[in-house]
Amino acid sequence: MLQVWVIVLASFLYLGVLFGIAWYADHRADHGRSLIANPVVYALSLGVYCTTWTFYGSVGRAAANGIGFLPIYLGPTLLFALAGFILYRMIRVAKANRITSIADFVASRYGKSQLLGGLVTVIAVVGVIPYIALQLKAVSNSFTILSSYPEIVMPASAGAVPLFQDSALYVAMILAAFTILFGTRHLDATERHEGMVAAIAVESIVKLVAFLAVGAFVVWGLHGGVADVFARAAEVPEVARRLTRADTSAAYGSWGTLIFLSLFASLLLPRQFQIAVVENVDVKHLNRAVWMFPLYLFLINLFVLPVALAGLLHFPAGTVDADTFVLTLPMAHQQEGLALFVFIGGLSAATGMVIVETIALSTMVCNDLVMPLLLRMRWLGLAEKADLSGLLLEIRRWAIAIILGLGYLYFRVAGEAYALVSIGLISFAAVAQFAPVVIGGLFWKGGTRDGALAGLAIGFVLWAYTLLLPSFAKSGWLPEGFIAHGLFGIELLRPQHLFGLTGLDEITHCLVWSLLANLGAYIGVSLVRVPNAREARQASLFIGGTDLSGHLAWSGSAGVADLLPLAGRFLGRERAEDAFMRHARSRGLNSVEELPGDARLVNFAENLLAGAIGSASARAMVSSVVSEEPLGLDEVMNILDEASQVRAYSRELEQKSLELTRATAELRQANERLRELDRMKDDFISTVTHELRTPLTSIRAFSEMLHEDPKTDLEQRSKFLGIIVSETVRLSRLINQILDLAKLESGRAEWTVNAVDVDEVIHEAADSLTALFAEKRVTLDLSGLDKGLTVMADRDRLMQVMVNLLSNALKFVPPDSGMVRVGADGSAQEVRVSVTDNGPGIHAADHEVIFDKFRQGSGGTDVLTDKPQGTGLGLPISRQIIEYFNGRLWVESVPGAGACFLFTLPRQAGDNGKKF
Amino acid sequence: MIRTRLVAQRLAFLFLLGCVFFNYPLLSIFNQGGSLFGMPPLYAWLMGSWLVLIALLALVIEGMHD
């Protein structure tokens, strides 16, 4: 079953599934439904800490010296107990400053120094390469062993295999291709990879389950439980040696050193920083990880010692490499499926590490090493190029390929001399060099760029001299005498007994020298001078946790016109525009163009760029377009010390009071409008009362006539009663219409449009006013009415208009001699109605004024005639109604010669476009 | 995350507790032959105290909302 093609196919299928998961997670993220915004996924993705070192190497380490594999996992447990002090702050700082890598973090902390970012990148790349070599070695070995099933054959040493038959080379190439597909598909302003994190979380589950499966198989399948394994081991003296540790102070010292070392490594390894800090979706997820990640480590270590002991018991000493027990034990018992599953588990451990590590390193190489150099080479003209986002991706892809290439090279050169864990420890010791500048940078404000540079440089040199170079020497690439007799044969310079220090294992020896020198140089050189302005600002950002951005970052200014194209060059036009738009919205503006070219905008642009090209390069780029006066030391110190805190508060207060003034002005305006509306409401009520009085008067008149003259004949009486009834009806209608007016004003009026006979409406209106006309003895002449004129209109509204016009006329004609004439005629398009009286007439200047609402209600100016009567509401309502039906209402009059009110209505209602 | 200083202090205490659990001199007490719960004493102690520490971490973190 375990032919080569089956193993290869299973591997590719597995990688394909991972890719599918990543794609799906990216897809979800693009639609705003993040798959990884979950504390459990976060805790699982932290499991990237467990690589093939854990999966294969731990058993090998346990077979060599028992429980000695464990400190590597106790350290991270302790780190997470300190999460509130360290990780929590790092995540907050990284989010606020768009930190994209550990190099970016250090560079940013010490004044955005490009030099420092570059140095950290070099250390990280050189330091991590052995670690990558370890993964290649583990995968290629496990592949070789599994493919020779059913025999168990140890792979030949890497140097002995011709280059193109070396499976590690192909593993490296496949992993490079896979990583490039995974991590460099597009450029993200925050350098986050949702799909990758989802895939890593899944891989964490796979490798854990695979290891637990082997453990369960070995403990319960091959033996009678954990106690049985230990009991049998105790019987064999050669194996029983692993059950206890050497009881010497050196052994306890190196034990403690490893706990301490792994504590820092789980924080400072580029991939751990990437997953724990950069990819963190929500700082709250850290809560769950505090116990869940240690629990994960606990579970994956549960069976390490039993498996190692079982392997030692099972295989004759020296025949099988203990690093492969996890795989060879199931193979030796013909568990083909389990063996394949283990291989996939190991592949998970390797791919997870390689993907995240190389993506993190490639980001650092691109942002902190290559881009700053390229941007410095002015003859390349990069700074003027329109779009650099493609170039950034290209650099990262090459970086991934080169890093894996270097990993392979190290594997060929030095991979054979060491067990898996020993190779990994070399890398751990390298990244531990970051500890003083990172931890110190989080707690001590006095650290300077020079101190950080000095500490890192000397720590790195000592690490290389005491650990990296000896690994080359042991592999025969440097003369053996280098280790035995020191550089140039000087005994004091023996790399593993530097200055005669003996009695320590090589890792502890390296750490003692390198970290002592590192810490000493960092603090010592930092104390040579006070931090300069920029360092002090960054220190307060990282330590104080106060957000001084916007106040301090830039004193100069630059407009959107400069900054947007700059961001667009690195992020791509669309992404940059999106980001600026969001920024504009967050400031309550509607478009990017409205953004003021102030310090806040500049700071925003720098942060945005920092996500793509690192903080140091971002600063350099932004400063090329910003016309700033660099902040003087005094200025910054002023703002930092207490007195200026107060000043900052007072500035805030000033701003607040400014806002208050603005709000007050707005309130005053609103108040004035309210008062105006209130006055209009009073006017409205007084005029409305008039409208109600007209029908009431009519009802009262007829009722009194009936009441005072009981002898009225029946016919007359029923006519009067009929009028009273219809007037009452009209009154209630009127009240409804007054309510309507309110609706009309608010645009919520209802209209019932029918074909209306104009002649009939006029007669009905006239009938309802007969009593009033009779009372004032005014003649109403209805002889000028053409028959059969119809319009599309609301009957009640039209009636209302007629009554208004007639009663209006009646009011102004003289008693006894008064005369009101109504005429109606029509053309094909429209109907025209006129109401003519012989009253005093209206001044030309007032012809429009009388239609103004409430104008008369004010009472102060008597615009109509010298005889103020009326309300002024009737005419405006009438005009609104007529205009609603697309008609016109106007007056023709000469003072002293009466007035003629005319309106026209179209025969067809048309679309009643005019709304009130 | 760490809402109160109290929770942060409890975690810091657990950090120190872990340092003591996992180091000399406590380790030397268990670094001997024989068996504890069917396991070598050193192994039983380390795995056991590790699990207890994790449980305490969980207790402090998950209980902090109360």
Percent of chain A with pLDDT over 70: 86
Choice among A379-383, A429-433, A446-450, A711-715 with the minimum mean pLDDT: A379-383
Alpha-carbon dihedral sign for residues A713, A719, A720, A722: positive
Of A66, A81, A226, the CB nearest to B15: A81
Residue A867: predicted pLDDT:
35
pLDDT of B6 reads 80
Q: Is the pLDDT of residue A455 over 90?
A: yes
Q: Please tell me which residue, A189 or A466, carries the higher pLDDT value.
A: A466
- The mean of the pLDDT values for chain A is 81
Three-state SS annotation for A39-84: HHHHHHHHHHHCCHHHHHHHHHHHHHHHHHHCHHHHHHHHHHHCCC
Which residues in chain A touch residue B42, judged by CB atoms under 8 angstroms apart?
66-67, 243-245
What local confidence, expressed as pLDDT, does residue A188 receive? 61
Contacts of A66 in chain B (CB under 8 A): 42
Give the chain A residue nearest B14 (alpha carbons): A81
What mean pLDDT is predicted for residues B44-60? 92
- Best probe of the A interface among B6, B10, B37, B43, by most A CBs < 10 A, is B43
Q: Residue A903, SS3?
A: strand
Q: Mention every residue, 6+ apart, whose C-beta is less than 8 A from residue A162.
A: none
Closest CA to A546 of A84, A89, A108, A117: A89
Q: Is A742 on the interface with B (CB under 8 A)?
A: no
What residue of B is the nearest CA neighbor of A225? B38
Pairing of strands A779-785, A819-826: parallel
Nearest to A81 among B11, B40, B47 (CB): B11
Name which residue leads in pLDDT, A363 or A616.
A363
| List of domains in chain A | 4-428 (1.20.1730.10), 550-632 (no CATH), 692-906 (3.30.565.10)
What pLDDT score was predicted for residue A643?
43
CA separation (Å) from A393 to A42, A362, A568?
26, 10, 15
pLDDT above 50: residue A592: yes
Of A23-37, A615-629, A740-754, A884-898, where does the model show the most confidence?
A: A884-898
Touching check for A224 and chain B: CB below 8 Å?
no
Most confident listed range (A155-164, A218-227, A385-394): A218-227
- Model pLDDT for residues A850-878, shown as the tens digit of each residue: 876 545 433 333 334 333 344 456 787 78
User: B14, A84: Cβ pair inside 8 Å?
Assistant: no
Check whether A637 has a pLDDT greater than 70.
Answer: no
* B11–A255 CB contact, under 8 Å: no
Tens digits of per-residue pLDDT, A793-813? Answer: 888 888 888 888 888 888 888
Residues B21-25: what's their mean pLDDT?
85
pLDDT at A774: 87
Q: What residue in A sits closest to B40 (Cα-Cα)?
A: A243
pLDDT of the residue at A206:
93
**Nearest chain A CA: its distance from B48 CA (Å):** 10
Least confident of A17-21, A257-261, B60-64: B60-64
Residues of chain A contacting residue B55, judged by C-beta atoms under 8 Å apart: 291
Side-chain half-sphere of A141: how many Cα atoms within 13 Å?
Answer: 32
Angstroms from B36 CA to nearest CA on chain A: 10
d(CA A89, CA A320): 46
A402 to chain B, any CB pair closer than 8 A? The answer is no
Whether B61 sits inside 8 A of A80 (CB atoms) is no
pLDDT at A262: 92
Percent of chain B with pLDDT over 90: 27
Site of tokens 């005072």: A708
CA distances from A261 to A256, A372, A381, A390, B26 (A): 8, 32, 44, 39, 20
The CA–CA distances, whole Å, from A211 to A53, A72, A205, A454, A834 equal: 13, 17, 10, 43, 102
Q: Note the pLDDT tens digit of each residue in A194-244.
A: 888 899 999 999 999 999 999 999 999 888 888 888 888 888 877 777 777
* Bigger pLDDT: A763 vs A683: A763
pLDDT at res. A240: 78
A312-318: long-range contacts, CB 8 A cutoff, minimum separation 24: A312/A63, A312/A233, A312/A236, A312/A238, A312/A239, A312/A242, A313/A232, A313/A233, A313/A236, A313/A239, A314/A222, A317/A238
The reply to whether residue B35 touches residue A302, judged by beta carbons under 8 angstroms, is no
The pLDDT of residue A556: 56
**Residue A280 in this model has a pLDDT that exceeds 90:** no
Contacts of A43 in chain B (CB under 8 A): none
Diameter of chain A measured on Cα atoms? 150
Q: Is the pLDDT of residue A910 over 60?
A: no
Burial A395-417 (b: 16+ CB within 10 A, else e): bbbbbbbbbbbbbbebbbbbbbb
pLDDT given for residue A210 in this prediction: 93
Q: Which residues of A touch B27 (CB under 8 A)?
A: 245, 252, 255
Tally the C-alpha atoms within 13 A of residue A64's C-alpha that lie toward its C-beta: 17
Helices (H), A747-873: 758-776, 795-812
**What pLDDT was estimated at residue A656?**
84
ipTM rounded to 2 decimals: 0.94
The band of A124, judged by pLDDT with boundaries at 50, 70 and 90, is very high
For residue A635, name the pLDDT band (cuts at 50, 70, 90): very low
Distance from CA of B44 to the nearest CA of A (A): 11
Task: Taking residues A540-567, report their average pLDDT.
Answer: 63
Using the predicted structure, report yes or no on whether residue A560 has a pLDDT greater than 90: no
Which chain A residues have a beta carbon less than 8 Å from that of B54? 77, 291, 294-295, 298
When pLDDT is averaged across residues A88-96 and rounded to a whole number, the result is: 86
Asked if the model's pLDDT at residue A97 lies above 70, the reply is yes
User: Which one is predicted more confidently, A296 or A68?
Assistant: A296
Q: Do A84 and B11 touch (CB under 8 A)?
A: yes
Higher pLDDT, A53 or A418: A53
